[in-house]
Amino acid sequence: MSTETTEGGVPMAYWYNVARGRVEDDSNKSKGEDLLGPYETYADAEQALQHAADNTERWDDEDRRWNQGDAEED
């Protein structure tokens, strides 16, 4: 898959607009307060909500372990 670029040759970034429920790119990007990203590909941006949910679940699990004294040490 080739990477799309802007007119200046910069790689295109993709964003997920949570207010509109759709992927946007640099050419039609809405206000930042409604966006998740940037993502390198359209497909990654489409998965933004799932990615955010997965991260939240992982971080909640880490917080529970930390609060219980079970956090892994580096």
Does 58 map to a domain?
Answer: yes
Q: What pTM value is reported for the model?
A: 0.69
Closest CA to 25 of 33, 39, 34: 39
In this predicted structure, what is the pLDDT of residue 17? 97
Does 52 map to a domain?
Answer: yes
In this predicted structure, what is the pLDDT of residue 1? 43
Mean pLDDT, 10 residues at a time, over the chain (74 residues)? 59 92 93 92 96 94 90 55
Burial 1-27 (b: 16+ CB within 10 A, else e): eeeeeeeeeeeebbbbbeeeeebbbee
Q: Which domain holds residue 27?
A: 14-67
Residue 8: strand pairing partners: none
Residue 15: strand pairing partners: 24
How many folded domains does the chain comprise? 1
Does 50 map to a domain?
Answer: yes
In this predicted structure, what is the pLDDT of residue 7? 61
